Amino acid sequence: MTAILDEYLAKHPGSAQRFAEAVGLFPGGVTHDTRYAQPFPLYMTHGSGPRKWDVDGEEYIDYVSGHGALILGHSHPAVAAAVAEQVTRGTHLGASTDEEVRWAKAVMALVPSVERVRFHSSGTEATLMAMRLARAYTGKRKVMKLQDHFHGWHDYAMAGSDRPSPGIPEASFESMVIVPPATFDAGVEDALNRDPDIAAVILEPTGAHYGQLPSTFPSS
Ligand SMILES: Cc1ncc(COP(=O)(O)O)c(C=O)c1O
């Protein structure tokens, strides 16, 4: 363990230096919870396709891929060209556009079950709205979540998290039903049978924290 740590420290002096400055700027020194790392996170300069490079010149295969959003990799030429062209036509028109209509149609073509589209500026906002929508549609109050599964950092999503959650009212947690990993299979079914007030089940299909803790369903 010490050898791994020593190698990390030796290879990343540039990241260490930047993190020392960042702790005075950002809570936890990072701009997104998932970037928090011990003893410090890595600072990247650029990416191309499946690779990215840090401030110390190290090259990486990027399994993070923009938190899963970059299915075409970093700076795919078609994506880079489209962004560059669009940015010269206005940066925030504050109005409806042809592009949003084309985009929504593309989403609906890719996911045929989608009936209407609502764009959100973050996953946190999207899961908050999805829970609200499920409650409104069903008239039920609660949402079921699998323990440690990550759905952003709004008050409901933080229920059953492995992180401390000061500042979140107990009432938010009371409307969440948390199923622990060891009992996913029976636990989900059991909780749904026992509690008629559950509007929706939310989960990371690949397992908690992008599959870092794979979900095991005992009878499957
Ligand atoms: C499965 C899942 N849900 C929700 C979120 C939250 O998204 P955001 O960071 O855009 O708020 C993430 C972020 O990585 C995620 O992986």
Q: What is the CATH number of the domain that holds 193?
A: 3.40.640.10
Q: Per this entry, what is the length of the chain?
A: 220
**Does the N-terminal peptide bond of residue 166 adopt cis geometry, omega within 30 degrees of 0?**
no
CA distance 174 to 159: 9
- Looking at residue 4, what is its pLDDT? 93
CA nearest 98: which of 86, 110, 88? 86
- Residues 178, 161, single domain; the answer is yes
E strand spans, 116-219: 142-146, 176-179, 198-202
Residue bearing tokens 């946190």: 124
- Residues 52, 28, single domain; the answer is no
Q: Name the domain count of the chain.
A: 3
Question: Where is 103: in which H helix or E strand?
Answer: helix 98-110
Residue 175 falls within a domain, yes or no? yes
- Residues 149, 205, single domain; the answer is yes
Residue 95 falls within a domain, yes or no? no
Structural domain range at position 26: 1-42
Residue 37 falls within a domain, yes or no? yes
Residue 204 falls within a domain, yes or no? yes
- Residues 30, 57, single domain; the answer is no
User: Which of 89, 113, 148 represents a domain boundary (last residue)?
Assistant: 89
- Looking at residue 220, what is its pLDDT? 47
- Residues 27, 51, single domain; the answer is no
Residue 97 falls within a domain, yes or no? no
Residue 218 falls within a domain, yes or no? no
CA 2 – ligand 1 centroid, Å: 32
- Residues 163, 196, single domain; the answer is yes
- Residues 136, 168, single domain; the answer is yes
User: Regarding beta strands 142-146 and 198-202, do their DSSP bridges make them parallel or antiparallel, or are they unpaired?
Assistant: parallel
CA 153 – ligand 1 centroid, Å: 8
Q: Measured from the CA of 210, which atom of ligand 1 is nearest?
A: 16
Residue 21 falls within a domain, yes or no? yes
CA distance 154 to 163: 13
- Residues 76, 153, single domain; the answer is no
Enter the pTM of the model.
0.84
- Looking at residue 182, what is its pLDDT? 66
- Looking at residue 217, what is its pLDDT? 57
Q: Measured from the CA of 122, which atom of ligand 1 is nearest?
A: 10
- Residues 58, 77, single domain; the answer is yes
Pocket residues: Cβ below 6 A from ligand 1: 34, 67, 122-124, 127, 150-152, 204, 210
- In one-letter notation, the amino acid at residue 167 is G
- Residues 51, 36, single domain; the answer is no
| Residue ranges of the chain with per-residue pLDDT less than 70 | 1, 162, 182-183, 216-220
- Looking at residue 211, what is its pLDDT? 74
- Residues 129, 203, single domain; the answer is yes
- Residues 153, 202, single domain; the answer is yes
Task: Read off φ and ψ for residue 128, nearest 5 degrees.
Answer: -60, -45
